[in-house]
Amino acid sequence: KPNPAQTAKERLQILLAHERAGGTSPDFLPLLQRDILEVVRRHMEIDGEQVEVKLERGEELSSLEINIELPGATKLKKRA
């Protein structure tokens, strides 16, 4: 079973490939943001208000930038 981070990475790669081909609209961005935040929340507590997502499209390259303000080390969740 793939780990959540690997699954999120694969989804991101698929979405960006479709977007480059003109096959998707910017509506995927909220879904992608939600998926990435779910993965991060499995490992630490984060405030959804402290998340910034930027998508830049160019002729040959598109980039997705996600900034998450991480809490101090004391709030890190311990693995089960």
The structure tokens listed for 44 are: 């630490």
> Whole-structure pTM over 0.75, yes or no?
no
Single out the residue of 27, 35, 75 nearest to residue 51, CA to CA.
35
Counted domains in the chain: 1
pLDDT digits (tens, 9 = 90+) for 3-13: 777 777 777 77
Measured N-to-C along each axis, helices 28-41 and 4-20 cross at an angle, to the nearest 10 degrees, of 160
Domain span holding position 35: 4-75
The answer to whether position 80 is within a domain reads no
27-71 pLDDT tens trace: 666 677 778 878 888 888 877 677 777 877 777 776 778 888 877
What are the residues facing 17 on neighbouring strands? none
Reported as half-sphere exposure (CB side, CA atoms, 13 A), residue 41 has a value of 11
Q: Which helix (H) or strand (E) holds 55?
A: strand 51-57
Q: Which two tokens stand for residue 58?
A: 């160019």
